[in-house]
Amino acid sequence: MGKILVLYYSKGGNTRKMANYIAEGAKEIQDIEIRVKSVMEATREDVYWCDGMAVGSPTQLGTVAADMKKFWEDLLPDWQKIDGKIGCAFSSQGGWGGGAELTCQALLTILMNFGFLVFGVTDYSGHQFTSHYGATQAGEPRLEKEIESCRRLGKRLAEWVAIYFNGRKELHPLNKLYKRNPWD
């Protein structure tokens, strides 16, 4: 069974809502165990436990919130012991153009530093809406395409975990038997 940790920091609740939608998406794939935890609740054991992580932070001053950065700084003794997990990022910003993609890139950089294999999503969850560098929102996800972009990130994470940790090759996005988009 594949194991996923959705790790987030949220000051006002928006990033937490994203985390819950991401977990919903991951649940669409069978035989995946999921933990959703804030940086206040999660421990290093949760990181060791998982095969894949979705990591989310509000955009603060154009980058990762200090509480999330501290979680990873505190994990430094575990550096070189958690290589090879699959990682992706998500962020809520105050408004479009506020820097959420920069925050996702900064989160992915942290994960890469720990040896994670990181990914983006090529699918569109709605008109002119995608998550190439991770799921991004302005405030909380409200519109269906916004909610769906979070679900898709979680689902794709679960797919990659299932493929690479459980050998379920049929879930690969390039496998035509597996429909990626409702309009396929």
Least distance from C-beta 15 to ligand FMN, angstroms?
Answer: 3
Closest-approach residue to ligand FMN (CB): 98
> Nearest 10 degrees: CA dihedral of 87, 135, 105, 64?
-100
Query: Looking at beta carbons only, is 91 or 125 nearer to ligand FMN?
Result: 91
Residues 89-108: x where in contact with ligand FMN by CB under 6 A, - otherwise, as a string = ---xxxx--xx---------
Q: DSSP E strands: which ranges in the chain?
A: 2-8, 32-38, 52-60, 63-64, 86-93, 117-118, 124-126, 129-130, 135-138
Query: Looking at beta carbons only, is 120 or 139 nearer to ligand FMN?
Result: 139
Among 36, 70, 29, which Cα is nearest to 55's? Answer: 36
Which of 33, 82, 123, 139 touches ligand FMN by CB under 6 A? 139
Tokens of 55: 């990591």
Question: Do 56 and 18 form a contact (C-beta atoms < 8 A)?
Answer: yes
Q: What is the 3-state secondary structure (H, E, C) of 66-80?
A: HHHHHHHHHCHHHCC
Interface with ligand FMN includes 136 (CB under 6 A)?
Answer: no
CB atoms within 10 A of CB 89: 30
Name which of residues 22 to 61 contact ligand FMN (CB under 6 A).
Answer: 58-61
Interface with ligand FMN includes 14 (CB under 6 A)?
Answer: yes
Least distance from C-beta 149 to ligand FMN, angstroms?
Answer: 15
Tell me how far apart the alpha carbons of residues 27 and 70 are, in angstroms, rounded to a whole number. 29
Least distance from C-beta 175 to ligand FMN, angstroms?
Answer: 35
Interface with ligand FMN includes 134 (CB under 6 A)?
Answer: no
Interface with ligand FMN includes 125 (CB under 6 A)?
Answer: no
Interface with ligand FMN includes 149 (CB under 6 A)?
Answer: no
Binding residues for ligand FMN, total number by CB under 6 A? 18
Tell me how far apart the alpha carbons of residues 91 and 9 are, in angstroms, rounded to a whole number. 10
Which residue ranges make up the site for ligand FMN (CB under 6 A)?
A: 10-15, 58-62, 92-95, 98-99, 139
